[in-house]
Chain A
Amino acid sequence: MSADPSIPPAALSGEVRLPEKLADVEPVRSVRTPIRLEYDFIPGSASSGYLNAFADRKILGQRSPVDGAVFVPPRGVDPRHGAATPDYVELPDTGHVGGFCVTRLPIPGRDDLEIPYVSAWIHLDGADIGFLGLVAGIDTSEVRMGMRVRAVWKPDDQLGRTAENILYWEPTGEPDIPVTAAGTNAWHAKQAAESGEQAAGEEG
């Protein structure tokens, strides 16, 4: 008889029978299974352009030749259409919080992060997807979707070819972006607005 893969297995009974030698010993209930991968990262041309621009305090994205969507960080391709994206776009260091997470537990290996901290999808003005950043300079309970932020950079003499040049994102104090047009909703809101304009133009 072979198993029917559509039927989930029965729960483990937990009623295992052990040899007598193990009858009175404390059972093992957990096991350490650490993994570690050491590797050399060598960025391709799109990522290299992005990282090199950081040394000049610039953030680069790339524009899709198909519908104009701007990706940051640039990856050399519009993954939705399989189209190469050779054209860089310089983006401002302002945008809004598209989504965020408050972390209240320390992460092994990140002793530099004081808890609680906020990691967020930062949607730059002019970009059509978000990228990850820390939000600070505000109480964690005040962070919200649609909140306008700007980059806080390292001092110019400490800038390197790395996204770590941006220490964190702080609130600008400007009015929030409506949630319906924030984060992943932004692209759809923009598409709807453009098709609306087009329709209005056709009527005129």
Chain B
Amino acid sequence: MAERLRADLVLEYPFTRTTGPVIGAFLTGLREGIVLGIRRPDGTVLCPPTEYDPETSAPLTELVEVGPGGELVSWTWVDPPRSQSPWDQPHGLGMIRLDGADTPMVHGLLVGGPDELSVGMRVTVRWRSEREGHIADLEGFVPEGAGQ
């Protein structure tokens, strides 16, 4: 029987995609250091914003500032992060409901260990110093009062 064959393969696409007015506004906000949600006709706010109402499919247009503080709704601990993770250190992944928003968003929790996390705790945004209009402009969330 012939030797078993194997090859290291890489599949890679360097996509750039257009954002549209709503996601574009969300990313513009991140670049400028504010987080945006979008208001539904019933007054509730979705964050991250969606282009359409999830129940009626009506286009949504009213972007509002939320955060930067919020409440940790649920979380898990990641150790170690995978090779292509945005974070190179062990970290939390959490659902964070920002002040003024009615839905939680997923992002990293930058703390030293899982014993520093609990459901219901207050967290706040940590921004990167150099921002370009990308979700990674938001480096992650830290406990409120922990210093930025």
Closest A residue, CB atoms, query B136: A32
CB under 8 Å from chain A, chain B span 41-86: 51-52, 55-59, 61-65, 84
Q: Are B58 and A10 in contact (CB under 8 A)?
A: yes
Count contacts on B: residues with CB < 8 A to the other chain: 45
Q: Are B11 and A37 in contact (CB under 8 A)?
A: yes
A42 located at the interface, meaning its Cβ lies under 8 Å from any Cβ of chain B in the complex? yes
CB under 8 Å from chain A, chain B span 1-25: 2, 4-25
B133 located at the interface, meaning its Cβ lies under 8 Å from any Cβ of chain A in the complex? yes
- By DSSP majority rule, is chain B's interface helix, strand, loop, or mixed? mixed
Q: Are A19 and B63 in contact (CB under 8 A)?
A: yes
Closest B residue, CB atoms, query A109: B12
A196 located at the interface, meaning its Cβ lies under 8 Å from any Cβ of chain B in the complex? no
Cα–Cα, bound, A53→B27 (Å) = 52
Which of A21, A27, A30 meets B65, CB within 8 Å? Answer: A21
- By DSSP majority rule, is chain A's interface helix, strand, loop, or mixed? loop
User: Which residues does A use to contact B, with CB under 8 Å?
Assistant: 1-3, 7, 9-19, 21-22, 25-43, 48, 51-52, 108-109, 161
B34 located at the interface, meaning its Cβ lies under 8 Å from any Cβ of chain A in the complex? yes
- Other A-B pairs beyond A28-B25, A43-B5, 11, CB < 8 Å: A16-B21, A17-B62, A18-B28, A22-B32, A22-B34, A28-B28, A28-B133, A33-B15, A36-B12, A38-B8, A48-B5
B52 / chain A contacts, CB cutoff of 8 Å: 9
Q: Are A16 and B2 in contact (CB under 8 A)?
A: no
Q: Are B20 and A12 in contact (CB under 8 A)?
A: yes
Cα–Cα, bound, A184→B23 (Å) = 43
Cα–Cα, bound, A26→B31 (Å) = 10
CB distance from A45 to the nearest CB of B (A): 10
Q: Are A28 and B20 in contact (CB under 8 A)?
A: no
A16 / chain B contacts, CB cutoff of 8 Å: 21-22, 25, 61-63
Do A21 and B61 contact each other (CB < 8 Å), given the known contacts A16-B21, A32-B16, A34-B14?
no
Which of A7, A12, A38 meets B22, CB within 8 Å? Answer: A12
Which of B5, B15, B55 meets A42, CB within 8 Å? Answer: B5
Cα–Cα, bound, A14→B59 (Å) = 10
CB distance from A40 to the nearest CB of B (A): 6
